[in-house]
Amino acid sequence: MSLLPAQEAADIPRQEISPKTVLITGGAGFIGINLADRLLSAGENVLIYDNVSRPGVEQNLYWLLERHGEERVQVEIADIRDLYQLRKAAAGAKMVFHFAAQVAVTTSVADPVRDFETNLHGTLNLLEILRSLENPPPLVFTSTNKVYGGLEDIGLRRNSTRYEPTEVSILSGGIRENRPMKFRSPYGCSKGAADQYVLDYSGIYGIKAVVFRMSCIYGPRQFGTEDQGWIAHFLIRAIHDRPLTVYGDGMQVRDILFIDDLLDAFLLAGSHMERLSGEAYNIGGGPENSISLIELLSLIREIQGK
């Protein structure tokens, strides 16, 4: 497990965990830090639970601390697999957003055991902790569109800048939640199984929980790499005048959603948990906000002038 160097971790202030906080696992990452900022700005108490193993996320924590002050930002640097620390963090939570995960397909192929332990066992740890509480807080879990596999059965046609589905209903409305799951890659298996465990614990144990099967999210505070966060990766490479590698012909299409819109969806789900609990939702920008790789490169060229 690769954690933040001891000296840097020591520099991040810790406090006693206050009751009635919103717990965000993986809270130092791109989505978690933006959600924490939104909640803190609205007057909520927030606990960031993160092992800060992803390069760059410590910058997010320093940014949040500077923006909201050490007295308001609670940070617990710990791993989702650490049952003791996780139980302590969840004990006083009024709501839980579970984002902590191994997020790259490539990494899951290289190290499937770590992927399993983080994504599936870590989620099961959290669910068991919530089940043990007298009044479990509601849970929002971020799954992935990878639970539907490669979608090989969907016919495609090629136009000038992208591939598009030949089936009109998919072209206009995208993939529906009733589509059969087809896990592929260790990442797809671990996230898909965690997705199902969350829904099952909601049905069997009465934990109020909603699952978002997410597409490509982009926005500020994102440290994109070639493996994950491709829009930020493209933009960062362009800003620094570095070369880009495009796999395939660049006409593959991705459904993209801006981070603020995702946060709106999270908060709406949280405020309607009684009605939405036990449901899974595909979340993205929809067909009108889809983009191919070469279409994004064209936009970058317009902005950068090259």
Query: CA–CA separation, 142 vs 281, rounded Å?
Result: 10
Strands (E), the chain: 21-25, 46-50, 73-77, 93-98, 139-144, 156-158, 163-165, 209-214, 216-218, 253-258, 279-283, 290-292
> Would you give the DSSP letter of residue 287?
G
pLDDT tens figures, 143-180: 999 999 989 999 999 999 999 999 999 999 999 999 99
Q: Decide: 219 and 235 in contact? Cβ < 8 Å.
A: no
Residue position matching structure tokens 């650490």: 82
Supply the pLDDT for residue 225: 82
pLDDT at 24 over 90: yes
139-144 and 209-214: which strand pairing?
A: parallel
- Please report, rounded to a whole number, the percentage of residues in the chain having pLDDT higher than 70: 94
Instruction: Please report, for the chain, how many H helices and E strands are present, in that order.
Output: 13, 12
pLDDT tens figures, 213-240: 999 999 998 888 877 889 999 999 999 9
Say whether pTM exceeds 0.75. Answer: yes
Query: CA–CA separation, 174 vs 145, rounded Å?
Result: 12
Identify the weakest region by mean pLDDT among 69-78, 199-208, 272-281: 69-78
For helices 230-239 and 293-304, what crossing angle results, to 10°?
30
Supply the pLDDT for residue 198: 98
Query: CA–CA separation, 64 vs 74, rounded Å?
Result: 10
Supply the pLDDT for residue 11: 58
Phi, psi of 254 (to 5 degrees): -125, 145
At 20, the amino acid letter reads K
* C-alpha distance from residue 305 to each of 104, 246, 297, 301 (Å): 32, 20, 11, 5
**Does the annotation count 84 as an active-site position?**
no
- Is 247 buried (19+), middle (13-18) or exposed (0-12) by CB count in 10 A? exposed
Identify which has the larger pLDDT, 70 or 96. Answer: 96
Supply the pLDDT for residue 16: 53
Q: Of 49, 148, 187, 218, which one is the catalytic site residue? A: 187
